[in-house]
Structure formats: C-alpha cells, structure tokens
Structure 1
Amino acid sequence: MAKSYFLFVLFILHHGQGQHDECAVSRRCDGHGPAIRFPFQLKDRHPDYCGFPGFHLSCSDTHDTVLELPISVKLFVKKIDYKSQELQVYHPDHCFPRGIQQLNLSSSPFQFTGYRLGLDDFSFFSCSHTEGEALTYRRAISCLSDTSYSHQVYVLSDDDGIYSLPTLPCRKMYSARSIPADGVYHPDDILYLNWSRPACRNCELKGRSCICTNSSCIESEIQCIPKHTEGASTKLVATGAILGPTLFLLLAFALYRVYSNDKAEKEYRKRIENFLDDYRSYKPTRYLYADLKRITNQFTEKLGEGAYGTVFKGKLSNEIHVAVKILNSSMGNGEEFINEVGIMGRIHHVNVVRLVGFCADGFRRALVYEFFSNYSLEKFIFSENSKSHFLGWDRLHDISLGVAKGIEYLHQGCDQRILHFDIKPHNVLLDQNFIPKISDFGLAKLCSKDQSAVSMTTGRGTMGYIAPEVFSRNFGTVSYKADVYSFGMLLLEIVGGRRSTVDLTSENASQVYFPEWIYNLLEQKEELRVFIEGDGDMKIAKKLAIVGLQCIQWHPMDRPSMKLVVQMLEGEGDKLIMPPNPFASPGPTRIHARKPITHLGQELEVIPELD
C-alpha cells in the first residue's frame, strides 16, 4: 500500500513539474521570431492555461508573431524583452496610422512607452489635391494617400488648429486617442509597448522562470520557479521519497475540499435563485466577496480600469450578465461607494443604469451593475467615419434625447434632486438596442428640489466637462445647472465626433476652441464639417449643436433646465434660435480649448470647502 502511495506521489510531482516546464519553455513562430513563454501563450503551441489573460499571441501565414490589441488592431512582434517587460512591434504594412482607427488600450495590459514626441490625440483628414498644391506638406501621411496623389491624407494633433490643414477640400476620416506621435509621423518605425502586470521581471533578473500556479491565473498566484536542469529528475525522486506521506495527507485534504466545494456550490446556486427574486423587484443585493469571485470566474475577464477601481464581466445565469466594479481601497474615504449604493438603489429609470447589488465584505467594496454589450457612447462618437462604429444621426439624436431625459429624471423625478457632476460620453452606457443609460454616481450629491445652490468641498467632475461655477463663484452658485453644462459639452462632442477635452498646456494660445469653432460655423451659416449624408442629417446635427451651445452658457442662469432641453430636442430644429455667443461674454475671460478654464487670473475667488 505504501509503495502504491509513493508511486502516486511521484506521478503527481512529475506531472506538476511537466506542466511548469510546458509553460516556461520558449516557443516561436519560426526560427527567427521572438522567444515566447509565460506570461505570453502562443496559440496552438502552448496549452491554454499557460498564458496570462490578455497575453495571447498567434502566428500569421507568413510566420510572423501577431499581437492583437483592442479593438481588432493587429501588430507584428519583433522582440520581447522579459526583463524590462517591453515589446517591440510594428504594423504589418509598415503604416501604423492605418491600424489605429479603432485602437483602444483602456482594457489592454499593454501601454505605449518611451516616445520622444510623447502621446497625443490625432484626427485624420482626406483632402482633394489640386494642381500647384505642395505634396510634401509636413502633416501628409503618404502610406494612407492615393498613389495617384489625387487625394492626400493629412493628420492634425490636438496641438494643431483646424486651419493648419492645406487650403483644399477636406473631409475628416476618423480620430485616434493617446497614440504615439512617433508612430504617426514615422509610420514605418518600431513601436514600444510595455506591461506592468504580471510583474515577472524579478524572476527573470534572478535567472528563474515565472509561472502561474493554476489555470485561472491571476496576479496573486504568480511565482518564481527554478529553471529545469538535467539533475531535476534525480532530485524529484529524492523529494518524493521524503515528502510522500505529507503529500498523501494533502491529497486527502484536497478530496475533502472538493466535497466541501461541491456542497458550497449547491448553496451558491440556491443563493442565486434567491437573488433572482430580488432582481425582479429591483432590490440591490448584498454579496460576499467570495460570491463575486464565482460570478466573475475568478476575475478573468477585465472590461476596464480607472482611478477608483477595476471592472470585470460576470454572469449570474446564462441569460443575465453583469459588470462588477471592484473599488480601490486606497482611494478616498468610501464616499463613492456610499453615493453609488445610497443613490442608485433608489433610482429606477429607463435611461439610468441599475445597481444590481453591492459588496461590503471587510475592507473589500464592490458594485454590481447591469452589463451592456455595446459598452459606452465614447466608443462610438469618436470614430464617425467607421462603418462599424458610426451610429447614424437618427440614433445619435435618440441617444442624446435619452440622456437628457435621464438627467431630467435625476433633477425632478426623485424625492430629492440628484446632481450627477460627471456627465460625459464614458459614463453613458448603451444596451443592445442602443438605449443610453447614465452611470457612475460616485461624485453625485443630493439636495432638496427647492435648494438653489449646493455647497462644494472640492471640484467634482472631469476636466473639460466641469461647469465654470464649480471652479469660481464669480460665474455663479453651483446648482443643477452644472449638469446642464456637462450635457452641452457631450452634445458638441457628438456633433463634432472629436474630443473637446485635451491636455492642459500654455502653448498654442491662438488655437480655436472647439465649441467656439462650431458656434462660428453656425453663426456664419456655414455647413458643419461633420459626416453628413443628407439634409435630414444636417438638420439633426445643427439642432444638437444649437442645444449644446445653449447648455454651455457661462452663467448658470443663462442655461436652460433639462426639462426645456428635452422639449428642444423633441421639437423641430428649424424653430431653434442661436443662443448668445458665450465666447464673447463681457464677464470672465472665455475658456480656451487647452484649458477648461484659462486666464481666470488671481482675482477669481475659488470656492472654499464648506462641509
């Protein structure tokens, strides 16, 4: 009997070592490609359990190593440096701008790094060439242009004004955000990506292999193991003889755990059934942290990451999917968690995301929301020329109206008025029917409906969407009109298909502010330079632009209420009149595109902390 146990222990040890070796060994697409090992997994060459989530590579028909980035952007891998945790990549056609139209690294473990010119936001324009126009214009992208030079593609960064384009008929193609300028201006250059997780560099520097201890493979289960040597088999036998009885006890314990887990799984399923009863009656449910691990399959599918936490996809049943936001314990004093649970638990509106449940288990806090397959509005409005992303003006109008109705409900439809303070495209989620849902109430405040102003402890919101009065009481008191301003900026971004929020610098002081540019076009009765297919589209675009400009008036009293905004969006656009020019206000100096509030001067009084 003891001999049988000894042989069984040797089998377990050998199998475990073999699994580690399988993942630690390097594979290649051909004899010259980069060596691929953990945390990367090469498709069809490594077992599926070898790769860390998001680190899967494949081989092309030409035996090049392929890295696929969100969304469907493929780059070839030239080199992998495991000690510095850096990738050298290049575009298959040596034309990096061609592949970045849908690039979004927010849910990717990789980030661009080490660039002389830094990262920037870019817009690409197709311009018709006329005789006598220079073809060597410094912003021209030759690899995207027509070989006959009848059409040239030009690129503008957010540091460039729209009038930096040549004096040619031009049409905007698409926008790209947070892209290395080196790769845009030098399309055939090598690009550099790095990763911070998993942190295997310590293993590599010690001459050891980095490996994951189980098939779920999360950061906390990474460990260093010795690299396989010729004497490993002899040591394995000796180790098995010594540790045999101990491992037998561990095996017995493991069998007990399997039995216990099976029992716990049945209890979990019963708990889910109880949850579904609460789900139908719109009651947020309290979860244990262990519940969230099961719902998300050990947090394997990450949807995104921000300052306040990381969002994972989960599944309550085959029909019900959720998004689980694990809050960072180091951020703030728990105010965001209290706001979300206290405010969202009482909200039931078709245009407001629903809080399914929450977790307050020791120091761990999490929020469970509905999951939306179309993600956020941000994904669509900055890729207007893409057939797969541009939603069409009728749908954009419906989305704008839905968001407006959601904000109106927050302001008037509840017992207490709810001020969101962070209305922006990223916080507008879209369901499978593209019905918009306002999300993320971490910065929200409650006040009575007859309260004309609210006290502010600190500035709230995202730069570029924050109303002027949030910074200085010279513009007026802070009220629900701050959400109206943010909604106006969202409308103008929908119209322009580009961001009006950019990095803050003091350079390019003469650059035209994006909303002001839209105002000038409407004032001069020029056509908006947006993606238009017919007269109906132009009417919708103009209506959204005019309503947006109404909403971003400097002084809160000059902005409409959300009830009036809804009426304007539901009415005929031809009946709308142009608002006063907010950029020619005799009051505080206008806001510039590079600063949501610039040139305010020292004389403006900053709102003090009152509570």
Structure 2
Amino acid sequence: MKPMFHHSSSILLFSYSVTLLIISIINIPTGLCEDDKQYTNCNTAFTCAKNISSNLKYPFWGGVNRLEYCGGVDDPNTKLTCEDGGVPKITISNIKYIIHDWDNTTQKLNVSRDDYSSGDVCENDDSKSSTFNNTQFQQFGGVFNVTLLYGCDLPTGNPANRFRYNCSDSKYVVYAVGNYPVMYSGLCTPSVTVTIPILETQAVQLMSGNGIVSNVLKDGFDLRWTGNDGGQCQRCVSSGGACGNDGGTEFRCFCKDGPRETSCLSDSDKVSSSSSNTRIIIGAVTVIAVTVFVIIIIISKRGRRRQQLSIFRQQQQSRIIQLNTIKKRTELVDDNVEIFMRSYNLSMPRRYSYTEVKKITNSYQDKLGQGGYGVVYKASLPDGRQVAVKVINESKGNGEEFINEVASISRTSHMNIVSLVGFSYEVNKRALIYEFMPKGSLDNFIYKKEFPNAICDFDWNTLFQIAIGIARGLDYLHHGCSSRILHLDIKPQNILLDGDFCPKISDFGLAKICQRKDSIVSMLGTRGTIGYMVPEVFSRAFGGVSYKSDVYSYGMLIIEMIGGRKNYDTGGSCTSEMYFPDWIYKDLEQGNTLLNFLTNSEEENDMVRKITLVSLWCIQTNPSHRPPMNKVIEMLLGPLSSVSYPPKPVLFSPERPALQVSDMSSSDLYETNSITVSK
C-alpha cells in the first residue's frame, strides 16, 4: 500500500501553510509614524570613547543628543562631559570625578577624584574635601573616609608615622583613616585637610598597613543617586518610554508619540492594546496549529516505528555503559593510584608492603587513636625509629583522599610540617607512615572539660611559641613550596606536638594543590570541620575559597587555644552557650580587654592582647580583610603597638546541626557533598 502523501507533496503542503502564515502577519494593521524627537534623544545613552556603560541614561544628560530635559529633576549635578580623549566625567558640588561604573538597577555610581587620578598625592594641597550634603548623590554603604593632612609634621618615632605617603626630597603627606580629629588631635596642625570617601575594603587595607593611599584614591568609591523616589522612571521605561523632565522641576515620560506624565500607556491604551494583542495571538496560533497538525499527520506513521527503534537502541546502549562503568570503577581508581605512584617515584618516600606494615606494628598491638578515617598505631622501623601508622578504613573513600595526602605532604619539608616516612598501597589496604609525635595532638592539651592537663597549666610563652610554629608551617604551605598547598582542615586534632612541644601540621587528606599564582580554587562540596570552616565554604557569596581559608581556620584555632575551650561544642543548650569569638568581641567592646586571661607580667599581658588581636584579624568574614600568614608572623613577632584594632565583622556563627558532628572527621566530610545545618 502506498503512503498517503509522497515526499514532494509534503514539501508543497508545508510551503502553502507557511505562505498563509506570512499573509496573515502582513495583514495585521500597524501604525507607522516618526518617533518624537525628545523620546529619540533621551532614549539614547551618553556616549564617550572610553564609555564604561551603555546605560548612562536618566538621570544623566550631556553630549550631543542628551539635552538638559533628559536629566534628573531639579538636580544640577547630573551633567556628564567627555574629556581627556574620551573619559566620562561628572561634576558634583564643584569637584570633578571620573566615572568608572554605573548600575541602573541600584542607581549606584562608582567614581574617583579627577585631581588625584594621576596618583600624585603630594601636589594637590589646594584641593577641597568631597562633600555630598546638599546633593541627590549620597555615599553608598558604610561611610569610610581618608583625610590627607598637608603641612603636617609628626614627631619621630610616633606610632602614627606609618600613615605617611612619602614624597620626593624627604617630604611626606600624612593621612588618617576614619575619624581624623580623634586620631591626630594634638599630634600636628595641618595647613590643609582634604577628606575623600573610600571603599570599606580599601579602608581596611590602609589601616593594616597593606594599602597605598595613592592607589586607593584612584580606585574610587561608590555613590547612590537618591532622586526619583517614587519609581516614576521605572514605570516609564516599563511602558516603553524614556525618562526626562519638563525643563525644571517636574518628571516627564517621553513616548514615541509625545511626552506623558508617568507612563506611555493610559487605561484605554492598555485595554485596546490587550484586545489587539489577543486577536493577533489567536490568529497566529490558529495558522501555526493547522500547519503543525498537517505535518504531524504526514510524518507520524513513517517516524513512529523508526523513533521507537531508536529509543530502544539508546536504552540498551545506556544500560551497557552503566554496567561497564560500575564494573571498571574500582579497577580505574586502582590503576590511577599505580600511575600516580610511578610518576612520583623519584621523590616519593619508601613504599612498604602490607606484610611489612603488619610486622612493624607488631600485628597492630599498640593503638594510639581511632576516627572515621581508620586507626593509628604506634610502630617501630627496623632501624629503631618510632613511627605512627595510619591504617585507612577500607570503607572510607576510593583512594582519592589517600592520593591527595601523599601528593601534598611529599612536596613539603619543614620543621612545622609532619614528615611522611613511607606508605603502603595494595587493593583495599592503604596505610600512611609518619614520624612519631610523643605528645600527641594539640586537642589533648587545650580542652579543659575533657583533659585535666589543659593549656591553663602551660605558661603563655609556650602557647605563644606553638601559635608562631603553626603560622610558620602554614606560611610555608602557602608561599614556600613549589606549588601552593591549601590544607583546608586546620584544627587542634591535626596539630601534632613533638617532645619539645614544637607543633607540626598533619592530615592532608582534604588539601588542595594549586599553582602559586592562583588565588581562588574551585571546590565541589563542603570540606573541613564544623567550627573551623570559613564562611566562603558554606556560601560563595562571601568569596572564593583560597589560602585565606586556612588563615580563618588558624584564627579560630588560636582563639580556642586562648580560651581553652571548643569554638563549636555540640553538648549543652543552644540558648545558654555563646559563640566564643562573639564573647571576645563583647569583652573588648566593654573595655575589659580580656581581664580573665591577664597575668601579673606586663610582657605576658601584651602577648595575650597581641595574639588575641591577630586572631580576630584572621577570622574576618571578608577573605580580603584577612592578612596572609607572613603578615600574621610579622604581627606576632612585632610590638603590640604595631597591631591595629580589627574591625568587627558580621561574625559567622553556625547554628548547631540537628545531628551530632563532634566526632565528624575530615574523612567523613570528604565523602559528603553538603552539610545541612538546621536552625
């Protein structure tokens, strides 16, 4: 039996249907007219050779087309100019600014002072302060300022001398961050003071001594335009219009057919437009439906059987792929491990057989500890050296964490990094052999609740030396290796102590290896331990994961050492306990300055205050506010006066999860893509 339609007839019928559709669209009545000139002008954005945005429209005006009626209502500060080879600029309260960015949604404008754009701070001592008291532009976000003090001579050796910008011929300009009269009252009498807003991140850098004031001024600051509070422009643009004014104090919506008050659509326009659109949609849908129906009839019989056969073959192929994947998964991981071992053969520590591991541990007689990752045993090598053997639980991971730890720690050689003596890898039998640390882990000495020999029995100098040792180990991982290593699980359980209480960083199962130039690393899932994990691990809104994540965990660890208590305790009542960093900030705000920890020695008191301030710098919510580890070491070894008071961040205090997590190890978290924290 012949098919109902031949291929040629199908093409003919399809062409006929498309022709009907085109004729229907052509016959839809349309009104063609020339657009209003005011609409055309105000609907065109301000253009400049180095234009920063294609959206510089209302409330701005200037240039060839955007005349004054395109600007904001009753605001003389919205005129734009194009200068210096195509740089957009704006003048606010008689001070000219360079425009860097404009966000039409939030009406945020990023600008910088034109007179400081060259980076020359020394030659602008006749400038005026930036004020916005009588304008519709107001500072965006928190108010942060830098004040330049010209003609200000500070006494030699004064702590404020670090807030100086050196000029030529032994001259300098003093600058103050924050409240100028409070910081420098009585120190000097400047001839000229110039106050300029800056961003919060730049203010923190200047206060910590890491920023350069000339670069900060070139980076600029944010303003918000506060006009048009009633949302008139948004309604106008939504209706197809362009925003402007009547030449003075009233808002106007310029439409294609002329100006309106707020919208290009009146009530009658909306009804008429809705009815017309309905008729158009019904006509178009009818033609399309008929065309599709005819085509479906033509191809359905021919294509149905072919489609069913294709789906069946795809399903069979998918099942085969899944079975092969399951079958080869373990073999693939094992092969990858073997390839990895061979590629690092020249630099890897000795590989032991499983029989040798069993022999040196005396058949696993002396157990040192146990966790989710497996068991740690004390062992003796044939040459008499004592070592610790970590036997990985067969059910934990698929070899990836093992590879990660061997790869990370094999790249290191530092007195504050635990040494990997050897390893053993056979199918489902993995072990790591470390140097033996007789004092065990740091958590044995700092938790008063669990151990009688807590840190309170140590002198403050021992605690201080442990803190410096950990910092040096992290600085080596971040900057001393050929590749940057992010540990990502710094906590007391992973800090081991030798016989002289020298700290050594251990457990690199969650570490990330990256190029030293890389500042942000990609990471799937959640890595780390509750109480020490950085905010950016839980939410990328805080920033990307980087070596600054280890800085945060280090700060939490130091705070825990100071207080001799856990930062995250799963026992007790949620309502009765206080997050420990919150408690320290509260104590500092009330002026107590850690009275509970002070001693009779002024030197030790300065040590306590200094290490506390450094730890608070390390746990700043914004990663860019945290100092790198080399700066941490510099602050710890320097005088107390060199450590500035840290700003109080929006502290990251995780709520207690519904499940117990106190025994959760890094190996447990390694296999978990996310951690649900219930309030």
The two structures have a TM-score, normalised by structure 1, of 0.48
Query: Which of 1 and 2 has greater Rg?
Result: 2
> What TM-score does the superposition give when structure 2 sets the normalisation length?
0.44
